[in-house]
Amino acid sequence: GAGVSQSPSNKVTEKGKDVELRCDPISGHTALYWYRQSLGQGLEFLIYFQGNSAPDKSGLPSDRFSAERTGGSVSTLTIQRTQQEDSAVYLCASSLGQGLMAEQYFGPGTRLTVT
Amino acid sequence: GNSVTQMEGPVTLSEEAFLTINCTYTATGYPSLFWYVQYPGEGLQLLLKATKADDKGSNKGFEATYRKETTSFHLEKGSVQVSDSAVYFCALTAGSARQLTFGSGTQLTVLP
């Protein structure tokens, strides 16, 4: 079946602009995660959605970052007023259930470059 | 909080050499432990996992044993291949947190 898909694959934007990154999880997966991968910080957790519960936003680095998950499926990560330090690969993952041992399946990522 | 400390890379080996990548962790409660691999140009994928002490995860000739007494989950392979060249990440989930906490990653290059 189809895996996790993300779009766009690459995004170049000017400092100060807003960007939206999209994630389509595996059908039927109730949990969805956003991470980012950057040279300086490695792989960092950003936000987690589980079903209809309130999201865990504890990893968002600033209030310029927000995310939504509509209908328990597609998610959009929005970065407002982008800064150069936001340049990174943004990864989305989904899992079936929320147990500690649940395997997370990762998408190919969106490479964001802020100029 | 949760953290994962991973052996610094890069690691370069000849084909058929023995591989060890060290991983130790600090966690709240009883973690589940994972190794993820990122092949060149590809996304992260789960390599193996272990969910309780003394469990051994294995896949594609790789193994790692959950050692609670030493809080370690070292990755090993007896004979590496060129196709094993990738970045390897040790990770955990623990406590009420469902997100993965990752180590810094280890770049492995296997030469023919």
Mean pLDDT of chain A: 92
Whether residue A34 lies within 8 A of chain B, CB to CB, comes out as no
Looking at beta carbons, which residues of chain B come within 8 Å of A43?
A: 89, 91, 100, 102, 105
Could you read off the pLDDT of B23-42 as tens digits, one per residue? 999 998 889 999 999 998 88
The answer to whether the Cβ–Cβ distance between A100 and B103 falls below 8 Å is no
DSSP per position, A86-102: G-EEEEEEEESS--TTP
Report long-range pairs for A47-54 (Cβ below 8 Å, ≥24 apart): A47/A77, A48/B98, A48/B99, A49/A75, A50/A98, A50/B98
- Which tens digit of pLDDT belongs to each residue from A25-78? 999 999 999 999 998 778 999 999 998 888 999 999 999 999 999 887 999 999
Residue A92, chain B, CB below 8 Å: the answer is no
Q: How far is A88 from chain B (nearest CA, A)?
A: 14
